[in-house]
Amino acid sequence: MIQQDAVRKFPFKELDQEGLETLQTISAAHHFNRWMHDTVEKELREGTVLEVGSGIGNISRMFLDAGWKTCLSDIRDSYLTHLESTYAGHPSLIDILQVDLVHPDFENAYGAWLEKFDNIFALNVIEHIENDTLAIANCKKLLRPGGRLVILVPAHQLLYNRFDEELFHYRRYNRKSLKRLFEVNGLRIRSSFYFNLAGIFGWWFSGTLLRKKTIPQGQMKLYNQLVPLFRVSDRLTLRQLGLSVVVAGEK
């Protein structure tokens, strides 16, 4: 039997309208973005940070303003232009890079950045890449020995719906499948857990039942107001189920 993700093919879109609309909707969800930031920051070591797939910078400002020496990156020119106009000159900014995690000549293309970072994180990025094993391998090349990699991706293939299709997600993950990507690349697992239990219903309701193309702004606004409660629910359930899954590893 052919797996669903094995036959799914998506063309690269420089103008990613659905992705941009999603990022813009989430940009106003300050409580949710803070929750994402706090979740990642707890997994990092002291030192420099590379954010892979910064998009329009929903999480970027929090790391920069907190004093992390941070390099922002994306693959799309439009997002890089936005990042430059928003964050150029910030005292904590190292650089803004165009990064393709599956570049066919990665080591030569990014030779100046090999083993330069103490931390790398990517939030909702790896699911967009067909060869996710290679993407993790190339992240590892950018880490110093002892450096940490934190990946957050959509969880549970049963939740795959129109949102995923419109956002060009090749797959959703679970703890086992995401940990395997780290292990086959020789990264030591430090932690693995699910994130955002409460988000499951909204994702299913709007993306599966209503078949909407993007997250409704009103739904995201209401969800954001309830984030303090949702953070508690994750703790009470010991992060055993969630809309996303997180794995942190060490080189």
- Condensed to tens digits (0 to 9), the pLDDT of residues 182-201 reads 999 999 999 999 999 999 99
Per-domain boundaries in the chain: 12-250
Question: Which fold would CATH assign to domain 12-250?
Answer: Rossmann fold (3.40.50)
Average pLDDT, the chain: 93
**Rounded CA separation 56/103 (Å):** 22
Q: How far apart (Å, rounded) are the C-alpha atoms in residues 24 and 18? A: 10
Q: How far apart are CA 201 and CA 207, in angstroms?
A: 10
What average pLDDT does the segment 171-190 reach? Answer: 98
**What is the reported pLDDT for 6?**
47
Q: CB count, 10 Å around CB of 108?
A: 8
pLDDT at 239 over 60: yes
pLDDT of residue 13: 62
Residue 14's pLDDT band, with cuts at 50, 70 and 90, is low
Q: pTM, whole model, 2 decimals?
A: 0.93
Helix (H, G, I), strand (E, B) or coil at 76: coil
Residues 6+ apart with CB under 8 A from 14: 76, 77, 78
What is the per-residue pLDDT for 210?
A: 87
